[in-house]
Amino acid sequence: MPVTVVVRPGARAVADASLRRQAVARVRAALAVVQRQRASVALVFTDDGDIRGLNRRYRKIDRATDVLSFEGGAGELGDIVISVETARRQADRRRGGTRRALGRELEVLAVHGLCHLLGHDHKRPAPARLMRSLERRLLRASL
């Protein structure tokens, strides 16, 4: 299952190669759970400036966000773009700011983005519950 990794310059200092590999492994495990092993996904690690520009351009929201998903074409699920700067701040708040916490935050964001690529959304309560349930299941999957 092809998971392509793109690392923008602003992301290298925050999430090193082993943390990125951890997120990729989680995406691969999640794809196996939903039986989409052959689907192609790009996992893009970037910084707040880049993701803010994407958020402004595609969602008309002029601020950085943690993760964006962009659907792909034939055989390709699409792209999951993660701001490692935002991920680090969230890990600091939620889980104590350790290296392990950042790795887990990257996994959570990658799975969240993947759920969007699989057609899930969280704008209304019922679909949001379904999406959260799927996220929990994918995050428990064996690596």
Q: Where are the domains of the chain?
A: 3-140
CATH pick for 3-140 out of 3.40.30.10, 3.30.465.10, 3.40.390.30, 3.40.50.300: 3.40.390.30
Q: Which residues of 51-74 are buried (b: 16+ CB within 10 A; e: fewer)?
A: bbebbeeeeeeeebbbbbbbeeee
To which residue do tokens 């998971």 refer?
A: 3
Specify the pLDDT at position 1.
54
What's the average pLDDT block by block, 10 residues per block, for the chain (143 residues)? Answer: 90 91 96 94 97 98 98 90 96 81 96 97 95 97 85
Specify the pLDDT at position 32.
95
Whole-model pTM: value is 0.94
